Amino acid sequence: MTLLALTGCGRSEGGATPGSGGPAAYPYKIATTVGMITDIVKNIAGDKATVEGIMQGDTDPHTYTPGRSDTLAFEKADVIFYNGLMLEGKMGDIFVKMAARKKVVAVTEMLAEEKLGDESYVMSDEAEHYDPHVWMDVQGWMRAVKAVAKALGEYDTKNASYYEANAAAYLKKLEQLDAYAKQVISSIPKQKRVLVTAHDAFNYMGRAYDIQVMGVQGLSTESEAGLKRINELVDYIVTNRIEAVFVETSVSEKNVQALVEGAAAKGHTVKIGGELFSDAMGAQGTYEGTYIGMIDHNVST
């Protein structure tokens, strides 16, 4: 399979590695992009660093245009963590630029070489674009936690065992979350385990928990959904008597509404089953504003 080349921002081959000197003082500064990355980095960095996540609330990372304060946060940071695999569509240039001067880590790109049986752990679509939505599989995000702990241990070598210990404690909680997700989803009869959403953010959840997933838009929300795709999905919903479809907090409801209306026009009632967190977590300071709360909410919904 000839997957698109990784940007390689997280790595610097040859010569001195930027950021290899370690922190000059504590707490040092980390800047991150999406909330899901921010949360795991906070859990592992503990009191050794302050972590500033630039994407708050229901921000859509695919279409996010960084502002001056974001660039400044990255400029000031000692270490940068981002998701990678093109999730942060318009921000790639910033990371390439910054990687020449400091440690910049694309978390999911570190997982691209990992295997699941014979296959790469990281999924890709028919056009061979990598799927960046790894957090939707709790075991996938556990891999990300290990990758973050490793990267922090490489940057701040004298605290490597501290990061390892924080990661181990957090991984225990994620293990419970994964078991909970498996238990809840498996209680839904297999033929009813169909998840129709606004965009293709749930492929990893589908693979991990045995759910058939379908999105109106593709892996990114950057291109508009075609009428053809909407009609295909309406036909599927009507033929298979699907009872519910789901909207996403970071994506407009418009396309999912079109499915509901399209099905109604063909005499089938499908309701909006609820709102899921796809590419953004809930409000800061709430349970849903944590990675664990986000997944718990999605699974329960």
| Contacts with Zn ion, residue ranges (CB under 5 A) | 201, 279
181 touches 73 (CB < 8 A): no
Task: Provide, rounded to whole angstroms, the least separation between the CB of residue 7 and Zn ion.
Answer: 17
Looking at beta carbons only, is 58 or 279 nearer to Zn ion?
279
Looking at beta carbons only, is 141 or 155 nearer to Zn ion?
141
Task: Provide, rounded to whole angstroms, the least separation between the CB of residue 91 and Zn ion.
Answer: 14
115's enclosing H/E stretch is strand 115-116
Distance, CA of 262 to CA of 255 (rounded, Å): 10
- Please, which residues have CB within 8 angstroms of residue 246's CB and are 6 or more apart in sequence? 195, 196, 197, 198, 256, 272, 273, 274, 275, 276, 301
Task: Provide, rounded to whole angstroms, the least separation between the CB of residue 259 and Zn ion.
Answer: 18
- Please, which residues have CB within 8 angstroms of residue 182's CB and are 6 or more apart in sequence? 209
Looking at beta carbons only, is 159 or 278 nearer to Zn ion?
278
Looking at beta carbons only, is 12 or 124 nearer to Zn ion?
124
Joined together, the tokens standing for residue 255 give 């396309």
Residue 198, φ and ψ in degrees, nearest 5? -70, -40
Task: Provide, rounded to whole angstroms, the least separation between the CB of residue 60 and Zn ion.
Answer: 8
Task: Provide, rounded to whole angstroms, the least separation between the CB of residue 57 and Zn ion.
Answer: 16
Residue in the structure block whose two tokens are 């997700």:
181
Q: Which amino acid is at 229?
A: R
Task: Provide, rounded to whole angstroms, the least separation between the CB of residue 149 and Zn ion.
Answer: 25
| CA-closest candidate to residue 176, choices 45, 40, 295 | 295
Looking at beta carbons only, is 48 or 129 nearer to Zn ion?
129
Looking at beta carbons only, is 156 or 248 nearer to Zn ion?
248
| CA-closest candidate to residue 278, choices 297, 253, 250 | 250
